[in-house]
């Protein structure tokens, strides 16, 4: 049996929690050599990477996010800023590192996503003018539907993907563009920060030409995870799992580190 973890949508006041939980799960997989699938969502939030905190006019950029109703949180994984909201599903595939390279780990998430959507032709490759562009951006018809990042702890690795299931993707792109153009000013699109074009991205619902729900998306990924690992899947609530596995102390420690990481936002 393999495990899939899920929970209700985290409100803005609890936006640090899934990142702390992810670190606990990576350590668990490192110790137990058992893959996990973790679903999580946030209310309207802008998730910043550490590089975003070095933007010259960060305070002004954060103000644009707050005015748009997307308060920021700084994540522990690499990469740049991405939007999260109730029509976006965050999916973490957490596996033992073994002899995996960065590319083979990314390839696993690509394969899992293609299994979940066999009717789509999904390609990998950087969409340079999307937000948080990367080598393993997932696209359909040239438009990005998902971005992937990694985090490694000990002998575990989390391949973390945000998937734009539905919702106003162009509006999301405009919010991210406004953040970077305000915080970078005349250097917008330079020094490794993306020249965000809201039209460069789309949603799975748009590609499928039907309204896809988050529940339907989770079901597809659970089926794909079972096929991928050739094992049945046990679903459970993530916080019930923490209690059952006696991981509450580790979780509090990881949460404390996330709070420290995000103090830069409190001090703007």
| C-alpha triplet 117, 75, 171: angle, nearest 5° | 60
For the stretch 117-151, what's the b/e string if a residue is b when 16 or more beta carbons lie within 10 angstroms of its beta carbon? beebebebeebebbbbbbebbbbbeebbbbbbbbb
The 10s digit of each residue's pLDDT in 113-153 is 999 999 999 999 999 999 999 999 999 999 999 999 999 99
Q: For position 124, which CATH number holds?
A: 3.30.930.10
Q: Supply the DSSP symbol for 194.
A: -
Q: Distance between CA 262 and CA 252 in Å, rounded?
A: 15
pLDDT of residue 23: 96
From first to last of its 268 residues, what are the pLDDT tens digits of the chain?
Answer: 899 999 989 999 999 999 999 999 999 999 999 999 999 999 999 999 999 999 999 999 999 999 999 999 999 877 899 999 999 999 999 999 987 888 999 999 999 999 999 999 999 999 999 999 999 999 999 999 999 999 999 999 999 999 999 999 999 999 999 999 999 998 998 999 999 999 999 999 999 999 999 999 999 999 999 999 999 999 999 999 999 999 999 999 999 999 999 999 999 9
**What is the predicted pLDDT for the residue at 265?**
95
pTM of the model: 0.96
Task: Identify the H or E element spanning 96.
Answer: strand 88-96
Q: What's the pLDDT tens digit per position in 22-48? A: 999 999 999 999 999 999 999 999 999
CA 266/CA 268 separation, integer angstroms: 6
- How many whole angstroms separate alpha carbon 18 and alpha carbon 33? 21
**Residue 125, domain extent:** 2-266
Q: Which residues pair with 113 in a beta bridge?
A: none
* Number of domains within the chain: 1
Active site residue 132: yes
Give the per-residue pLDDT at 260. 96
The string over 3-27, giving b where at least 16 C-beta atoms fall within 10 Å of a residue's C-beta and e elsewhere, is bbbbbeebeeeebbbbbbbbbbbbb
Mean pLDDT, the chain, rounded, equals 95
Tell me which residue has tokens 């990481």.
261
The catalytic residue among 74, 82, 132, 207 is 132
């Amino acid at each position: 049996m393999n495990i899939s973890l899920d929970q209700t949508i985290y409100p803005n006041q609890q936006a640090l929690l899934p990142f702390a939980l992810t670190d606990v799960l990576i350590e668990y997989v490192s110790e137990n050599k058992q893959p996990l699938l973790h679903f999580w969502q946030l209310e309207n939030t802008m998730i910043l990477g550490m590089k975003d905190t070095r933007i010259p006019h960060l305070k002004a950029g954060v103000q644009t996010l707050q005015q748009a109703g997307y308060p920021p949180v700084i994540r522990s994984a690499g990469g740049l800023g991405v939007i999260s909201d109730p029509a976006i599903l965050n999916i973490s595939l957490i596996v033992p590192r073994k002899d995996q390279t960065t590319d083979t780990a990314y390839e696993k998430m690509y394969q899992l996503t293609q299994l979940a959507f066999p009717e789509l032709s999904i390609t990998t490759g950087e969409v340079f003018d999307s937000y948080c562009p990367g080598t393993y951006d997932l696209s359909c018809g040239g438009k990005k539907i998902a971005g992937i990042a990694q985090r490694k702890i000990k002998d575990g690795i989390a391949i973390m993907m945000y998937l734009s299931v539905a919702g106003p993707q162009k509006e999301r792109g405009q919010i991210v563009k406004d953040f970077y153009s305000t915080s970078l000013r005349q250097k917008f699109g330079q020094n490794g920060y993306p020249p965000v074009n809201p039209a460069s991205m789309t949603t799975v619902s748009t590609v499928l030409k039907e309204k896809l729900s988050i529940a339907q998306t989770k079901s597809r990924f659970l089926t794909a995870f079972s096929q991928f690992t050739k094992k049945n899947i046990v679903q459970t609530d993530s916080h019930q799992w923490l209690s059952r596995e006696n991981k509450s102390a580790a979780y509090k420690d990881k949460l404390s580190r996330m709070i420290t990481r995000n103090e830069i936002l409190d001090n703007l």
